[in-house]
Copies of this chain bind each other. A is one copy, B any other.
Amino acid sequence: MDPAEFRRLGHELVDWVADYRAGIEDLPVMSRAQPGEIEALLPADPPVKGEGLADIVADLDRVVLPGITHWTHPGWFAYFPANTDLASVLADLVSSGLGAQGMNWQTSPAATEVENVVMEWLRRMLGLPDTFSGVIQDTASTATLCALLCAREWTAGYGQNRGGLQAEPHPLVVYASDQAHSSVRKAALLAGFGAENLRLIETDDAHALRIDLLEQAIEQDMADGRRPCALVAAVGTTATTALDPVEAAARTAQRHGLWLHVDAALAGTAMICPEERWMWQGIEHADSLVLNPHKWLGAGFDLSAYYVRDPEHLVRVMSTDPSYLRTAQDGVVRNLRDWGIPLGRRFRALKLWFVIREYGVEGLQERVRRDLANARWLQAQVDEAPDWQRMAPVPLQTVCLRHVPAELRGDETALTIHNLTIADAVNAAGRSYVTSAVLKGRQMIRVSIGAQATERRHVEGVWAELRAAAGEPAVVSGEPAAAGSPADA
């Protein structure tokens, strides 16, 4: 495509994206497409002759849009907020347009150096000490795999350069809580530890890691001739945003020589507000840490921030040095290909650079505080509503709840069906989208607040919809219910 055609179509597509975002509230949050419906709209064979992209906007409306679940919708309460601020969309346009590869410093010095700078900016915003060095990864799953690989090689004294994991005399063991994200189990299995060497430790009533049971498990493994290797602590678990005690976890890790990886994928963003940093007290002792600016902070997917205390160790585990990748600057610059699994690297730092410049630290803090206040408001409503049960503390922006009417009390099967039905009804209506999940055997509804467009009225709206779906007196969406008023009881 030549630049003139790109200019013409580019303007058209910028307008299409602007119109999409401006009108998003009128779309059903969750796509109503049925399996196979989108595929059926496309030919089975590729076009033999080029068709150009003259009809592309029509095809986006016809084929793509009906199959999109709208993550930036103000009624987005599912999974996690993934805000993809429009400033980061612009940054991605520049990144794609430049088509630069940041695998080596020399293959585009700006890609590496802007990344160095914005990862330092973010480190300062989070209040992390300068003993941490940061690098962008695609996802927290990948970052956690990197962490467990680094833990493995650290414990095994770089066994990868000898017989590998298969030559280890004592099985290496990984620890996390039973609320750890599925990516921790996946990473442990992919890294070769094996399910039998993964300990998912029971959690307390707040769904946080129990250090006493962790200590017991470590002692038992050592007595059995196994070798404790890594501990993954979550600051903000996926199901309920539970907070594992980082400081105590770090003490245990230090005592037994474990690598401490902290998964703050979602919660990390809240740490740009100094008053929230009690949640990861002790973070300076972590060996590695991941948080996702592509969630709540507003950078478009994919942009995970991975911080390590010993970048030389990371590089030693990940580096390759074939002659065709060597450059004159190798000794004095970072070659970020050696800081993760993939060789090729997109220029992703631009997204974070644009978002931080657009809002400034204070602008981003303000939005986080708005979302935290909205979550506390919903928490208060749930606590005051007699037939509703809050399933977990609300330190962050996720409220876990379920409806427990008197007639179903004690009947878990009936409660499961009842709450799945409520969530399905809300999601089918299309104004809001919540996630169903199971917490320690009990069905619940997760309301994850933090989409950029979500204001108090939308949180009031989803609460009214949940109550209506549960058969409670209708509360008209958009008409703010006074907190604690009799109507809520």
> Contact: A60 with B94, CB < 8 Å?
yes
Question: In this assembly, does A385 line the interface, its C-beta being within 8 Å of a C-beta of chain B?
Answer: no
Q: Are A89 and B6 in contact (CB under 8 A)?
A: yes
Query: Is B20 a contact of A356 with CB atoms below 8 Å?
Result: no
Contact A168 B171 (CB under 8 A): no
Q: Are B183 and A166 in contact (CB under 8 A)?
A: no
Q: In the bound complex, what is the Cα–Cα distance between A205 and B21 (angstroms)?
A: 58
Which of B3, B17, B65, B82 is A21 in contact with, Cβ under 8 Å?
A: B3
A406 sits at the interface (CB 8 A): no
**When chains A and B are docked, how far (Å) is the Cα of A145 from the Cα of B140?**
17
- With A93-B14, A114-B42, A117-B42 as given contacts, are A190 and B341 in contact (CB-CB < 8 Å)? yes
Which residues from chain B contact A44 at a C-beta distance below 8 Å? 117, 120
Complex partner residue of A39 from B66, B94, B117, B159, CB under 8 angstroms: B117
Task: Report whether A110 and B66 are in contact in the complex, using a CB–CB cutoff of 8 Å.
Answer: yes
User: What 0/1 readout, one digit per residue, does chain A (156-184) give for beta carbons within 8 Å of chain B?
Assistant: 00011111111110011000000001110
Among A255-263, A358-366, A387-395, which stretch is in contact with chain B? A358-366
CB-CB under 8 A for A17 and B341, given A50-B357, A121-B45, A163-B197: no
The reply to whether A31 and B318 form a contact with Cβ atoms under 8 Å apart is no
Contact string against B for A residues 38-59, beta-carbon threshold 8 Å, 1 for contact and 0 otherwise: 1100101111111111001000
B residues less than 8 Å from A122 (CB atoms): 46
Q: Which of B21, B52, B69, B194 contacts A108 (CB 8 A)?
A: B69
CB contact list, A134-148 vs B, under 8 A = 138-142, 145
Which of B18, B164, B194, B435 has a CB less than 8 Å from the CB of A197?
B164
Complex: chain B residue closest to A146, CB-CB: B190
A49 to B42, CA, bound (A): 47
Shortest CB distance A45–B (Å): 6
Q: Which of A207-215, A246-254, A321-329 contacts B (4 or more CB under 8 A)?
A: A321-329
Task: Compute how far the CA of A166 lies from the CA of B193 in the bound complex, rounded to whole angstroms.
Answer: 7
Asked if B16 contacts A46 (CB within 8 A), the reply is: no
Task: Determine whether the beta carbon of A48 is less than 8 Å from that of B160.
Answer: no
Distance between Cα atoms of A357 and B49 in the complex (Å): 8
Contact B46 A121 (CB under 8 A): yes
With A1-B87, A96-B92, A166-B197 in contact, do A185 and B320 touch (Cβ < 8 Å)?
yes
Contacts of A482 in B (CB 8 A): none
Which of A97-105, A217-225, A461-469, A471-479 lies at the interface?
A: A97-105
Question: Do A3 and B362 touch across chains, with their CB atoms under 8 A apart?
Answer: no
Taken together as a complex, chains A and B put the C-alpha atoms of A139 and B343 apart, in Å, by 7
A161 close to B195 (CB less than 8 A): yes
A417 to B298, CA, bound (A): 49
CB-based nearest B residue for A73 = B99
Q: Which listed residue, B30, B94, B320, touches A182 by the CB 8 Å rule?
A: B320
CB pair B48–A361 under 8 Å, yes or no, is yes
Measured CA separation A343–B47 after assembly (Å): 32
* CB of A380 closer than 8 Å to a CB of B: no
In the complex, besides A35-B329, A48-B360, A161-B194, 16 extra interface pairs with C-beta distance below 8 angstroms are: A10-B17, A46-B361, A50-B357, A53-B87, A67-B110, A67-B114, A71-B99, A141-B344, A152-B192, A160-B195, A161-B189, A166-B168, A167-B196, A301-B344, A302-B342, A324-B435
Q: Which 6 A-B pairs have the closest CB atoms?
A: A164-B194, A67-B110, A84-B99, A17-B97, A10-B14, A165-B192
- Of the A-B pairs whose beta carbons lie under 8 Å apart in the complex, a sample of 27, sorted by A's number, is A1-B358, A3-B18, A6-B17, A6-B18, A6-B21, A6-B90, A13-B94, A16-B97, A31-B109, A42-B114, A51-B360, A66-B110, A67-B109, A68-B100, A84-B97, A92-B96, A139-B344, A149-B190, A162-B194, A162-B196, A163-B194, A163-B197, A182-B322, A185-B320, A191-B192, A239-B323, A323-B436
